[in-house]
Amino acid sequence: MSANRYRLETQTVHAGEPSPRIGGAATVPIFQSSVYELTEGAGYHDIVYPRLNNLPNHTVLARKLAALESGEDGLVTASGMAAITTSLLTVLGQGGHLLTQSSLYGGTHNFVTEDLKKFGLSYDFIDAHRPESWAAKLRPNTRAIYTEALTNPLIEVADHRAVVAFAREHKLVSLIDNTFATPVNFRPLELGYDLSLHSATKYLNGHADLAAGAVIGPAELVSKIRHSLNHLGGCLDPHSCYLLNRGLRTLVLRVRQQNSSARAIAHFLDKHPRVLKVNYPSLESHPQHELAQELFQGFGGVLSFDLEGGTEAARRMIDRVKLPLHGPSLGGTETLIIRPAVSSHAGMSREDRESLGIGDGLVRLSVGIEASEDLIEDLDQALQE
């Protein structure tokens, strides 16, 4: 570590904060104004205006996010989907073709399969675990390759080193949705990805009280995406920026607790006689157990499992748990439980879901920061006959 690069815990608190502090304040005040005095001669994108992503609330976050993932620049957006769609539309340009991992967050999957064609763009799914099969899917207009750090809800791990090498060889922009890993567990730009995207609604904010997204990457590419965002309008409002910056300050503490709790719960469930299969990379049965250990510092707070008795058993368990909230989303302080088939992946056809291995009875847990022992005791009582 170079002398000017602080450790992650320090950066979450100090990186990007204004110097000198605004009015001496320890936190950046909320710039609740949509009009600012004009400096003549400034270009359109430099006019201070909330939609142009240049309030102090935006810039502090852009700098902090860039520092956390070793990027040159960052950008905050109105949601994770705003980050994903704006980045994809920008890098694909006119008539571009995308190679993408087939197992994707439901919203991204729907955007790729339903919306890209409306903009004259095309895609092909790739098997993220078989790099030797990717070249056959290349077209002259292929411009980008897209993956997720850890997939939802099966927590699979793509061959990320191979993705980076393939992108370099074929001059593609490599994009990764790093929502599930967070910079605490994985910093994709250090591996060689071009762009890291986040639903900051999840771990980065961590308190289930806002929607936001993030883009991190080289300054030139982020600037192009910022220009598209300025036109498409997916800016983050200053109050949400303030909350996100507050949430980021405790990111490392929260995620480390979630890593260790999810691991303990995964190992507990794995030994439980009523549980058929648990999906979590720390388990030796996980198909990418070794790869995950090489790439990540931890595996995050999300795990999924199938129960003996299928959908009915899953429903009964969800009814019986006392601590986890029955709700979608993930990455907050409170534990959440859902069946992906009726929540995150409800927009997908049953056929598509099943081809990805997401059965109706699959249960997903997003582990919060409660005591692991309390969560395990609660899950145990909910699984009793």
**Buried-state track 57-90, b at ≥16 Cβ within 10 A, e below 16:** bbbbbbbbbbbbbebebbbbbbbbbbbbbbbbbb
Of 362 and 383, which has the nearer Cβ to ligand PLP?
A: 362
* Continuous H helices in the chain: 8-14, 56-68, 80-92, 106-110, 160-169, 182-185, 188-191, 219-232, 238-248, 251-271, 289-295, 310-320, 350-355, 372-382
Say which of 49, 64, 73, 105 is annotated catalytic: 105
Q: Tell me how crowded residue 276 is: count the other CB atoms within 10 A of its CB.
A: 14
Name the minimum Å distance from CB 336 to ligand PLP. 11
Of 198 and 383, which has the nearer Cβ to ligand PLP?
A: 198
Name the minimum Å distance from CB 312 to ligand PLP. 26
Of 213 and 324, which has the nearer Cβ to ligand PLP?
A: 213
Tell me which amino acid residue 351 is.
E
Name the minimum Å distance from CB 79 to ligand PLP. 3
Of 66 and 210, which has the nearer Cβ to ligand PLP?
A: 210
Could you confirm whether 202 is annotated as catalytic?
yes
Assess contact for 329 and 336: CB atoms under 8 A: yes
Say which of 73, 159, 177, 306 is annotated catalytic: 177
Could you confirm whether 177 is annotated as catalytic?
yes
Name the minimum Å distance from CB 213 to ligand PLP. 6
Residue indicated by tokens 């919306």:
115
Say which of 64, 187, 202, 353 is annotated catalytic: 202
Residue nearest to ligand PLP (CB): 80
Name the minimum Å distance from CB 285 to ligand PLP. 23
CA distances from 276 to 45, 151, 307 (A): 55, 20, 5
Which residues are near ligand PLP by CB under 6 A?
A: 79-81, 105, 107, 148, 152, 177, 179-180, 199, 201, 211, 213, 329, 344
CA distances from 232 to 62, 145, 229, 321, 378 (A): 18, 23, 5, 42, 45
Tell which residue, 141, 27, 41, has the closest CA to residue 92: 141
Of 58 and 275, which has the nearer Cβ to ligand PLP?
A: 58
- Could you say which DSSP state residue 135 is in? G
Say which of 51, 137, 224, 256 is annotated catalytic: 51
Assess contact for 320 and 274: CB atoms under 8 A: no
Name the minimum Å distance from CB 77 to ligand PLP. 9
Assess contact for 150 and 156: CB atoms under 8 A: yes
- CA angle in degrees (0–180, nearest 5) for 87-347-317: 120
Of 65 and 81, which has the nearer Cβ to ligand PLP?
A: 81
Q: Which residues are catalytic?
A: 51, 105, 177, 202
